[in-house]
Amino acid sequence: MKNKPMWLFLLCCGVPLILAYTALSFNWLPQSATNSGKFVDEEVTISDWQQTPGVLWTIALNAPVHCQASCERQLNDLSNIHTALGKNQRRVNLAVFGREFKVGNVVSYPNQQNLEPGNLYLIDHRGLVVLEYQPSLDVQENRMRHKGMLKDLKKLLNYARSS
């Protein structure tokens, strides 16, 4: 009778460990993430980043002068994305790299050579570039990527509120 609890204890500890080892060795775990954007591989920090009180994130567009069609399309969508944030608009800024842009609350910064032209980026309040969103030629696919960016941004804002 005394051995029964010991075997039961070993069985309850051993079976989950064996299952976990098997799942890891055969790559049965999902490879996807919950974010829609692509994490920036290397650490990119904007050197002259202006920190605005109460603003946690910035949506930035890298739009150098030689970037024409895709950048113009993204510039037009940038204000719509900010409007779609609703009550979170005051916690998110807009920025453009590489062009002077004097519309609303968009802040202009010098060109960033280490960022892809035409892409949208999510940047934290310290100037660290976190997520990247590549544009698409298809309007519907581009709209879905913007919805994914809004979803990611709302999650990040909720995490910041809870901490």
* CATH assignment of the domain containing 80: 3.40.30.10
Residue 122 within any structural domain of the chain: yes
Look at residue 106 in the predicted model and tell me its pLDDT: 80
Residue 33 within any structural domain of the chain: no
Residue 21 within any structural domain of the chain: no
Residue 132 within any structural domain of the chain: yes
Residue 25 within any structural domain of the chain: no
Residue 1 within any structural domain of the chain: no
Number of folded domains that form the chain: 1
Q: Which amino acid is at 117?
A: P
Look at residue 18 in the predicted model and tell me its pLDDT: 93
Question: What is the span of the domain harbouring residue 77?
Answer: 39-158
Distance CA 30, CA 48 (A): 39
| 94 has pLDDT over 60 | yes
Residue 95 neighbours by CB under 8 Å, 6+ apart: 58, 59, 60, 61, 106, 107, 108, 109, 123
H/E segment holding residue 5? helix 3-25
Residue 72 within any structural domain of the chain: yes
pLDDT digits (tens, 9 = 90+) for 31-77: 766 788 888 888 888 888 877 788 889 999 888 777 777 777 788 78
Residue 150 within any structural domain of the chain: yes
Residue 126 neighbours by CB under 8 Å, 6+ apart: 45, 49, 51
1 confidence band (pLDDT: 50, 70, 90): low
**Inter-residue contact 36 to 148 (CB < 8 Å):** yes
